[in-house]
């Protein structure tokens, strides 16, 4: 057993070292690559990020010691977020696997919820930066879809807050969704000269009141709050996947654009983290096409 542990430690340690090296070398510009096309650079960055994420995922699942599983999971969460940003066609996959990796990194429910809150705070700060409002990384329609999903979530939590005092943080969750909805709407307006706010503000509450522990979008059993967060995340991922052809990978983006893309990804991941922490089944194949 000692030999097996030593082997596992060596494999994970080597992988960690390799991943750290890949991050440190990512910003180095080698003259011999100057002639490469932008498409080639993007594809190369995407392929490298995807291979790294898959390798870390394998080590996360096969590590013999819990401590090394957690280390690999933490690195895997970071690597899959990089996949989402570097590979537009793998956006949903990257964010989904990143969220699931966070769950395997040794955090309990409160820790996962704290990570979700941190994701949201980081995203809100970046999205609110004046310098990002003129940057075009998504279409106005996609921003509107993000805003609409957040607005529906805001309404749902407001209804819950008035009807069920046992649901913790419903008021603060409603406020966070309201703030995100408003800032996404501002970005949508900046990207279109014919912008029209599509948010309804008040929605049909019958499904909230009559909820029977079965998520309407997936048919899976889960608590109401988990269902709300999951449906928000999946709606946003579908919208972003549809728009993936129009936005470039983060490897080709300016620093401000990359920060904005990361903020959007963090906001979506936060909903997945909260959904999983609150009781949604933690199986990627249930949600990825």
How sure is the predictor about 39, in pLDDT bands with cuts at 50, 70 and 90? very low
CA angle 59, 65, 66 (to 5 degrees): 90
- CA–CA distance, 100 with 105 (Å, rounded to integer): 9
Q: Answer whether residue 14 shows pLDDT above 80.
A: no
**Tens-digit pLDDT profile for residues 181-229:** 999 999 999 988 889 998 999 999 998 999 999 998 899 999 999 999 9
How many angstroms separate the CA atoms of 10 and 17, rounded? 10
Region 157-176: what's the mean pLDDT?
92
Cβ atoms of 91 and 241 closer than 8 Å: yes
> 27: number of CA atoms within 13 Å, CB side?
5
Q: How many CA atoms lie within 13 Å of 4's alpha carbon, on the beta-carbon side?
A: 5
214 bridge partner residues: 221
DSSP, res 106 = T
Reported as type and span, the H/E element at residue 223 is none
Q: What is the rounded end-to-end Cα distance, in angstroms, of the chain? A: 40
What whole-number distance in Å separates Cα of residue 94 and Cα of residue 99? 9
pLDDT digits (tens, 9 = 90+) for 78-101: 999 999 999 988 999 999 999 999
pLDDT per residue as tens digits for the range 97-107: 999 999 989 89
- Which H or E run includes 282? none
Residue 11 CB: number of other CB atoms within 10 A?
Answer: 18
* Cα 163–Cα 164–Cα 167 angle in degrees, nearest 5: 140
H-type helices in 87-169, by residue range?
91-103, 109-127, 140-163
Q: Contact at 8 Å (CB) between 105 and 70?
A: yes
Cα of 139 vs its chain's centroid, Å: 18
**What pTM, to 2 d.p., does this model score?**
0.83
Return the ∠ at Cα 200 (arms to 197 and 204), rounded to 5°.
165
Q: Exposed, middle or buried, 24 (CB in 10 Å: 0-12/13-18/19+)? A: exposed
Give the pLDDT score at 17.
47
């Amino acid at each position: 057993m000692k030999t097996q542990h030593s082997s596992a430690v060596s494999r994970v340690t080597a992988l960690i070292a390799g991943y750290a090296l890949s991050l440190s070398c990512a910003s180095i510009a080698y003259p011999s690559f100057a002639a490469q096309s932008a498409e080639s650079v993007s594809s190369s960055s995407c392929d490298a990020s995807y291979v790294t994420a898959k390798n870390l995922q394998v080590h996360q699942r096969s590590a013999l010691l819990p401590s090394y599983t957690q280390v690999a999971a933490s690195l895997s969460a970071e690597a899959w977020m990089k996949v989402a940003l570097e590979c537009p066609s793998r956006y949903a996959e990257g964010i989904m696997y990143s969220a699931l990796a966070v769950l395997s990194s040794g955090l309990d429910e409160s820790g996962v919820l704290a990570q979700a809150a941190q994701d949201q705070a980081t995203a809100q700060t970046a999205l609110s930066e004046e310098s990002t409002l003129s940057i075009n990384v998504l279409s106005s329609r996609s921003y509107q879809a993000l805003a609409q999903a957040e607005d529906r979530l805001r309404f749902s939590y407001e209804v819950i807050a008035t009807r069920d005092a046992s649901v913790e943080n419903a008021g603060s969750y409603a406020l966070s969704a309201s703030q995100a909805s408003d800032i996404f709407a501002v970005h949508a307006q900046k990207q279109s000269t014919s912008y029209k706010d599509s948010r309804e503000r008040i929605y049909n509450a019958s499904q909230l009141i009559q909820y029977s522990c079965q998520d309407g979008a997936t048919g899976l059993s889960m608590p109401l709050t988990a269902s709300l967060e999951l449906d928000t995340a999946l709606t946003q991922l579908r919208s972003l996947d549809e728009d993936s052809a129009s936005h470039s990978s983060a490897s080709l983006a300016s620093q401000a654009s990359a920060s904005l893309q990361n903020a959007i990804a963090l906001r979506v991941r936060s909903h997945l983290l909260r959904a999983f922490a609150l009781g949604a089944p933690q199986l990627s194949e249930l949600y990825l096409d």
